[in-house]
Amino acid sequence: MLRGKKIIVGITGGIAAYKTPILIRLLIKQGAEVKVVATKNAMEFTTTTTLETVSKNKVYNDLFAPTNEYNTEHIALADWADFMIIAPASANCIGKMASGIADDALSTLVLAFNKPIFLCPAMNTNMFNHFSVQENMNKLKNNGIIFIEPTSGELACGVEGKGRMEEPENIVTYITSQHIASYGDFENKSILITAGPTYEKIDAVRFIGNFSTGKMGYALAEEFARRGAKVTLVSGPTQLSVHHPNITKISILSAREMYEAATIHFPDSDVAILSAAVADFRPEVTHNEKIKKSSDSQTMDIHLVQNPDILASLGNMKKDNQLLIGFALETNDEVANAQKKLTKKNLDFIVLNSLQDAGAGFGHDTNKVSFLYKEGKIEHGCLKSKSEVAKDIADRVKNISNF
Ligand code: CTP
């Protein structure tokens, strides 16, 4: 499964580092080439001889070592590898990654690395549960770092609880089954995704918007890019950024701008997934100056006109070899309403979100969705992280396509 893959194994200071040579052996047994980058503290728990013997390569642990081929080793290593596994990842390593600190060979390499990074945390339970470690992990997760969660059990410090590094066998199984197996799913395919809210200007300082954060659409963009697709992400205003180099982001403000970008890119797309929360209406008139309060009126009327329905327009343009997927956000009669949208907008399937489900919808990191297919089949999902929902959607696109 890992034949030809080039992997950097990062090691930080923790007792679990004694298991890392086993991890390296397993990766090599599967056909990977491994280079090791270790911190100074990691070398308190394992040895250069062990790591060099199992990896069959020299160990990098000094940014300025005279043996380095040239002084931008971190860039050369970042270019060389397909992905990186840091095992064990200490609280210190996680904190430095979350803050962008680059003060040794491993942390410098991490900043130069724009490919998948898997982190296998290992630490004392109290450290693991500490709010700062949890916050740092959430920040990294939201920025595309993949965590292989520690397990519970007796830790080296004698305490029982969560914090034990996942076993090397399980780390390899997780990476190969959940990630590597799907890497080429959408190779040479173009995917169009819309995400986030649209803002409809009222005057120079005000707009009509909605609570969408764009998290679902950005998770989709990362997932399809990770599986090899060329992704065009048309995004309304959000706080989010994209990470994968295969994603081209087009930032727009209004529904009409989103419509223009989507209709330009759709003809060249194999799949379009419209997850944006598009404002259905916009003010008919936009004022260039700030509207002032009038002293003789307690009310104000804004006349709204309908925006183009982007999804329905793409449904009209759709060719037989294209797939079109929409979302439906409903508060009542969910399935019936979603079914109507599925048919009316000429979709292959629709992803139904109900605002009645706790933890689902705007702003949450989790989502609970159902899938309704044009043939009539319905699948109900459970509450999952938005990146897991993105995986489920990508799996379904793969299943119904002949890619
Ligand atoms: N959509 C779109 N353009 C619009 C409105 C919606 O592309 N002007 C897309 C959304 O991105 C989503 C789907 O259509 O994929 C359904 O959006 P939703 O807001 O649930 O439904 P509407 O079609 O707007 O219908 P209603 O607001 O009446 O429920």
Cα–Cα separations (whole angstroms), residue 16 to 166, 206, 246? 9, 54, 34
Q: Does residue 31 come out as left (phi exceeding 0), alpha (psi in the -120 to 50 range) or beta?
A: left
**Chain segment 57-93, per-residue pLDDT in tens:** 999 988 766 655 555 677 889 999 999 999 999 999 9
* pLDDT score at 364: 78
Residue in 263, 304, 341 to alter for ligand 1 test, most ligand atoms within 8 A of Cβ: 341
Residues 6+ apart with CB under 8 A from 366: 359, 360, 383, 384, 385, 386
* pLDDT score at 360: 73
> What is the identity of the amino acid at 278?
V
The number of angstroms, rounded, from the C-alpha of 221 to the middle of its chain's C-alpha atoms is 7
| Ligand 1 contact via 309 beta carbon (within 6 Å) | yes
In the chain, what are the domains? 6-182 (3.40.50.1950), 190-283+301-400 (3.40.50.10300)
| Ligand 1 contact via 326 beta carbon (within 6 Å) | yes
| Ligand 1 contact via 278 beta carbon (within 6 Å) | yes
* Closest alpha carbon to 283 in 311, 262, 254: 254
Pairing of strands 366-367, 323-330: unpaired
Cα 12 to middle of ligand 1, angstroms: 47
| Ligand 1 contact via 274 beta carbon (within 6 Å) | yes
Identify whether 120 is a catalytic site residue.
Answer: no
* pLDDT score at 385: 83
Least confident stretch, 42-56, 175-189, 191-205, 360-374: 360-374
Cα distance between residue 198 and residue 209, in whole Å: 6
Q: Which protein residue has the closest C-alpha to ligand 1 atom 20? A: 328
- Give the model's confidence band at 41: pLDDT under 50 very low, under 70 low, under 90 confident, else very high: very high
* Closest alpha carbon to 231 in 199, 201, 275: 275
Cα 345 to middle of ligand 1, angstroms: 10
Least confident stretch, 19-33, 41-55, 384-398: 384-398
